Amino acid sequence: MKVNVSCSSVQTAVDILEEADGEDTISTLGQLRERIAFDNDVDVETMKLLHRGKFLQGAPDVPLATLNFKENDKIIVMGGKNALADDAGFKMLMQYEKHNLSNLQKTYDVNLRDVADLERGFLEKPKQVEMSKKLEKKIKYFNEEAERHLETLDGMNIINESTSENQAKRNREKRKTLVTGIQTLLNQNDALLRRLEEYNAILNGDIIE
């Protein structure tokens, strides 16, 4: 059956079953609380669930079948500070993204633009050679910088003893997203370096267009 969850004016529907018959089945109070906390980014430990004018209380293994749910019942989420906003590990990742990784993207964009400008061939050959050497250094340095960011992210302590299971999952997913973004930039930067090497080969007469 479905129950409707209301949290800060946001409405979501959650499927629950009285008897567990699958891995993802929500059949206990603990499972329901974890699901609601995850869907709404709230702290499972401090939130309260209001159902038919009463707070849902009990141990995590209390069966939902004993709580008299009916189809389309409404559950109101109260309290439960925003876990993402207050978690130290998530804050650390957000700050790192803001102050470091956005600049990494800008650096790649500048290198991409400069290679495109060089390929237009507007400069005299000596200037092209000089600019190409500078760009090669910048592109290779970008790889070194990106690798350092990957090492820093890997070494970040984003989970501690007080981090809830749901929050720990969010933190790991956030770090994975940042790592994937850096790896994508590294792949694009490698392709940019190959473009520059091909241009140099043409410039030196090793390849005839």
Look at residue 209 in the predicted model and tell me its pLDDT: 52
Kindly state whether residue 208 falls inside one of the protein's structural domains: no
Which residues constitute the domain of residue 96? 87-203
Residues 107-155 have pLDDT tens digits of 999 999 999 999 988 888 888 989 999 999 999 999 999 999 999 999 9
The angle that helices 29-40 and 165-203 make with each other, rounded to 10 degrees, is 40
Boundary residue ending a domain (62, 81, 100): 81
Per the structure block, which two tokens stand in for 114? 């400069």
- Tell me the DSSP string of the chain: -EEEEEETTEEEEEE--SS--STT---BHHHHHHHHHHHHTB-TTTEEEEETTEE--S-TT-BGGGGT--TTEEEEEEE--BHHHH-HHHHHHHHHIIIIIHHHHHHHHHHHHHHHHHHTT-S-HHHHHHHHHHHHHHHHHHHHHHHHHHHHHHH-----TT--HHHHHHHHHHHHHHHHHHHHHHHHHHHHHHHHHHHHHHHTTSS--
Boundary residue ending a domain (81, 116, 148): 81
Are residues 39 and 108 part of one domain? no
Mean pLDDT, rounded, for 90-101: 89
The phi-psi region of residue 33 (left if phi > 0; otherwise alpha if psi is between -120 and 50; otherwise beta) is: alpha
Kindly state whether residue 209 falls inside one of the protein's structural domains: no
Mean pLDDT, rounded, for 147-176: 90
Kindly state whether residue 113 falls inside one of the protein's structural domains: yes
Look at residue 17 in the predicted model and tell me its pLDDT: 74
Boundary residue ending a domain (81, 105, 123): 81
Total of domains in the chain: 2
* Ranges 10-19, 43-52, 57-66, 68-77: which has the least confidence: 10-19
Look at residue 5 in the predicted model and tell me its pLDDT: 92
Asked whether the predicted pLDDT for residue 66 surpasses 80, the reply is: yes
CATH value at residue 14 = 3.10.20.90
Are residues 140 and 191 part of one domain? yes
Look at residue 170 in the predicted model and tell me its pLDDT: 82
Are residues 137 and 38 part of one domain? no
Look at residue 10 in the predicted model and tell me its pLDDT: 79
- Under the banding of pLDDT at 50, 70 and 90, the label for residue 86 is low
Look at residue 147 in the predicted model and tell me its pLDDT: 97
Write down the mean pLDDT value for the chain: 87
Determine the Cα–Cα distance for residues 179 and 131; give it in Å rounded to an integer.
31
- φ and ψ at residue 59, rounded to 5 degrees: -70, 160
Look at residue 107 in the predicted model and tell me its pLDDT: 95
